[in-house]
Structure 1
C-alpha cells in the first residue's frame, strides 16, 4: 500500500511528486472517506495553493460533495471553523513549515481535529484501489465568509479580555510571511494591544526568515522587542499553528519552556487534568503536573498523535517541543493565535515580566539539531545505535536514556529527508557535550 501520509498530512514538491493529477486522486480518495456532506477548504500563502484549491474543489464536487471555500487562513482557523460551523470535514492546503517549493493537504475530521492514523491508512487503501465515489449528481462550491471571525471570537471567549486590555500590552509579531497575518494582528488589536509587526506581507517564498521560526532566524524579532520596549514577541510558522516566543529582554524561548509556563498556569486553574506531549519533550513537565494532582501522557512525535490522544482522553493541554501548543477547551490542535492569547492572559494576571516567569520554572536544558539523511540511512543509524544502547526505547526512532538527567532521541523526520537529534541535560554545558557526541556518532555511522 502506498504510504501517502507523513508526520502531519500529505506533502511533496509541487509539480514533481505533488502534481495536480496526484492532488486529484488524493482528494477523490478523501471524498470517498468523507462519503458525503459539506467540506470546508482553506489554504496557506504558498504560490501553488490557489491552483491546488481549484483541483480540490473540482474533485470534491465530482464526487458529489459540496465544497465551501474559506480562502487564505491559518490551519488552526480552518480546523476550529470546521468544528464550530458544523462541517462534515475540512481540507487545509499547506506544507506547514516546509520550504517554498513544497505543498500539501491536511485532512480534518468533523470534530475540527486532524484525522487519526487509522483513517490515514483507510484513505491510503482507497487511493491504492481507486475505490472512488461514482456520484449520481455533482456537488457545488460556495464561499464561506465567517471563518476568521468565528475563530477570533472563539479564542477571545476563553480569556479575560478586561484584564488584558487594562494592561495595554506592547506585542511584536513576526508573521513569517505566513497565514497568521490575516488573524494574529486582528486578535491583538481586539485585545487592546499596541502591535508591531515584521514579515507581515503574505508571500509564498517566505523571504523574511523562512517558513519555520527557529532560534537562529529570529534576530530581527529580538531586536524589535528590545527597540520598542515590548512585553514580548511571538513568531509563527507558515501555516500559523506553531509559535515561538521572545521575552522582553530579546531572548528567544524554546518551545518547551513556553509550553511549561502555560501548562503551569492552566493547571492551576484546572487541577486534576491531563497533559499530553511527545517522547522528545523535556522531563520537567512531570515535576510541574505533580503540584496540581495532574498527570502526563507521552506519545510518538507528531501533532496528530498528541491531538488524537487529547480527544480520546479529553485532555486539557497538549504540546510539542517545536512550539506547537494545544488548549483542549478551544480545540485539540496546535494553534499559534490561541497560544498568543493564553500568554497575554497569563501576563495580565502576573506582576512579573515574561523572563521572570520563565526563571521561576524548574531549569530545563533541551535542544535539537538535524542532519540530511534518507529514510533508509536513518534506519541504519537507529539499528547501529541500538546495538550500542540495547535498553533504549524504539517506539519512535530511538530514545537513549544515558542517565537520569541525560537523554538523546534520534528519529527520521516524517516530512523531510533529514534525521533529527533531540536531547535534554541538567546544564547547558553538559547538553552541548551530549549533543555533539551523538552528532559525531550519527555522522560516523552515515560515513
Structure 2
C-alpha cells in the first residue's frame, strides 16, 4: 500500500487509504497545539475529497483551542499571501497540488506566511507523535465563508501596470485542469481587460488530464490557442501555485523557460539578487549575469527558496517547475502573479510572447522519474558517482553532477514515492544522453 508522504512540502497520500480523515484531524490538532497564533485560516482545492478532509482538519484545530476562518475553495498562494500580510494568523490548506486526483494532502503555513521549515516541521511531528498525552483546550470559534480573494487580487494589481495590459486587450486561453483556477482565473484576467477562453474548467474537481503543468500535458491548450487565435495560453496546477505558458501560435514553452523569463522581467522592474533551487535552468544564471546580479541556489522546496530570498533580500525567485515568486507581492509561488507579470511584460515590450521567448537562449531539461526503494537511495547515489566520476559532485539535495555545459540531478521526491532524475544541456539529445547513461548504469543495481 502507498505510504503517507510526510515532508516540508506537507502531508500527502491517497485519500481513503494512506490519507484519512483521522490523519487530517490529528494533524489539525497537532498544528493547533504547535501554532502560537490564536487564528488559523483554512482552505481547500477542488478535489472531491477536500471537504471531508477539511472538516476533520477544522475539528482538530478547534479542539486545540484555535479560532478557524474557513476561506473555502481558494488558491494556495492566496492563503500564504493572507497569512504573510495579516498578524496573528497561521494557515492550512487541503491540497495535493500537482499530484494525481486520487491524492490529497495538507499544507501548513507558519505565522510568516511560508510553509513550515525543517525545524518547525520537526517540532510539529513531536507533537503529532505524542498527541495522546495532550488534553483538549477550550474549543475555538469557527467562522464560515471567510472571503479573501478580492483583497488578494487588488493587492497584486496595485503592483502591475494594469492600464498597459488593458490597452492590449489580450485574448487568453486558460487550462486550470478543473482546479481552483476554474473558479477564479477568468474573473482575474477580466480585471486586466482580457477576453478569456477556458478549457478543462468543468466539472470542478474531476481532472481531465495529468494535473502537473508540464509540456506533455498541454496539448489541448496549445490546440485551443491556435484554433481561437489567442495571444497566449496559461495552464495552472490544481491549487494555482504553478504556471505554464503556451505562446501565440500554440508553441508550448517549458515551465523552466517561462519562469526564467518572468524572473528577467522582475529584474527589469527592480534590480536585486535572485534565488532559485538547484534544478532550475541555467538560463537563470545567464539572466543574472546580464543584469549584473547574484543568483543563489537552494535545495528543492518552496520553503528553502523563500527563506534564502528573505536572507539575501531577493528581488525575484522561484522554482523551475513554474513556481514564480514575486517578493514585492508576497513570498510564495503564485500563478496569478506569474500571469500578471508575463502579460505586463508583453504589453510594455509591445511584443508577442513568441517574440519575447526567442530573445532567450534555449536550454533543454529532460525530467524522468523512477520507482526506487527509499531505504536504498544511497546505493543509487554511489552508482551515480561512479558513472559520472568526470563531473563536479555536490550533495546539497540528493546528488547533482555538474559539467561545463550540462548537469544531471538525482533526488528523492518530497511529494511522491519516486526518485526524480533531471538533466539539462544545450541540446535535448545531450540531456537525454545523460539520463540514459545513468539509467543504463543503474539497471544492473539489484535494488533497481
Task: Return 5+ residue gaps in structure 2 as ranges.
Answer: none
Residue 410 of structure 2 is aligned to residue 410 of structure 1: yes
1:256 corresponds in structure 2 to: 256
1:51 corresponds in structure 2 to: 52
- Equivalent residues of 1:280, 1:321 under 8 A apart: yes
2:309 corresponds in structure 1 to: 310
Residue 218 of structure 2 is aligned to residue 229 of structure 1: no
Residue 188 of structure 2 is aligned to residue 178 of structure 1: no
Q: Secondary structure at the match of 2:80?
A: helix
Residue 176 of structure 1 and its aligned partner are, at CA, apart by 0.6
Question: How many pairs does the alignment contain?
Answer: 443
Residue 289 of structure 1 and its aligned partner are, at CA, apart by 1.2
Residue 214 of structure 1 and its aligned partner are, at CA, apart by 1.7
Q: Secondary structure at the match of 1:392?
A: strand
- Equivalent residues of 2:20, 2:53 under 8 A apart: no
CA gap of 1:192–1:132, structure 2 versus 1, over 3 A, is: farther
For 2:232 and 2:423, the matched residues in 1 are separated by 27
Residue 258 of structure 1 and its aligned partner are, at CA, apart by 0.7
Deviates more, 1:341-350 or 1:251-260: 251-260
2:206 corresponds in structure 1 to: 205
CA gap of 1:414–1:370, structure 2 versus 1, over 3 A, is: same
2:379 corresponds in structure 1 to: 380
For 2:37 and 2:149, the matched residues in 1 are separated by 25
2:243 corresponds in structure 1 to: 243
Deviates more, 1:78-87 or 1:404-413: 78-87
Residue 135 of structure 1 and its aligned partner are, at CA, apart by 4.8
2:215 corresponds in structure 1 to: 215
1:362-416 deviations in Å (ceiling 9; x for gaps): 3322221112223124332112212444551122111112x30021111121111
Residue 245 of structure 1 and its aligned partner are, at CA, apart by 0.6
1:35-94 deviations in Å (ceiling 9; x for gaps): 341100000111111011111111111111100100011111122122334452000111
For 2:378 and 2:8, the matched residues in 1 are separated by 16
For 1:218 and 1:36, the matched residues in 2 are separated by 41
1:149-178 deviations in Å (ceiling 9; x for gaps): 122112211100100000000111001111
For 1:274 and 1:88, the matched residues in 2 are separated by 29
For 1:202 and 1:23, the matched residues in 2 are separated by 25
Residue 296 of structure 1 and its aligned partner are, at CA, apart by 0.7
- Equivalent residues of 1:44, 1:72 under 8 A apart: yes
- Equivalent residues of 2:366, 2:428 under 8 A apart: no
> What aligned pairs does 1:316-331 form with structure 2 within 5 A after superposition?
316-331=315-330
1:284 corresponds in structure 2 to: 283
1:294 corresponds in structure 2 to: 293
- Equivalent residues of 1:179, 1:202 under 8 A apart: no
Q: Secondary structure at the match of 2:432?
A: helix
CA gap of 1:3–1:125, structure 2 versus 1, over 3 A, is: farther
For 1:54 and 1:163, the matched residues in 2 are separated by 43
Task: Return 5+ residue gaps in structure 1 as ranges.
Answer: none
Residue 4 of structure 1 and its aligned partner are, at CA, apart by 6.4
TM-score (ref. length: structure 1):
0.94
- Equivalent residues of 1:49, 1:103 under 8 A apart: yes
Deviates more, 1:2-11 or 1:307-316: 2-11
1:207-263 deviations in Å (ceiling 9; x for gaps): x21221221121110000011111110111111110111111211111211112111
Residue 63 of structure 2 is aligned to residue 74 of structure 1: no
1:361 corresponds in structure 2 to: 360
1:254-297 deviations in Å (ceiling 9; x for gaps): 121111211111112211x1111111112222221123331111
For 2:50 and 2:420, the matched residues in 1 are separated by 28
- Equivalent residues of 2:4, 2:19 under 8 A apart: no
Residue 136 of structure 1 and its aligned partner are, at CA, apart by 4.7
- Equivalent residues of 1:397, 1:410 under 8 A apart: yes
- Equivalent residues of 1:28, 1:133 under 8 A apart: no
> What aligned pairs does 1:430-441 form with structure 2 within 5 A after superposition?
430-441=430-441
- Equivalent residues of 2:63, 2:137 under 8 A apart: no
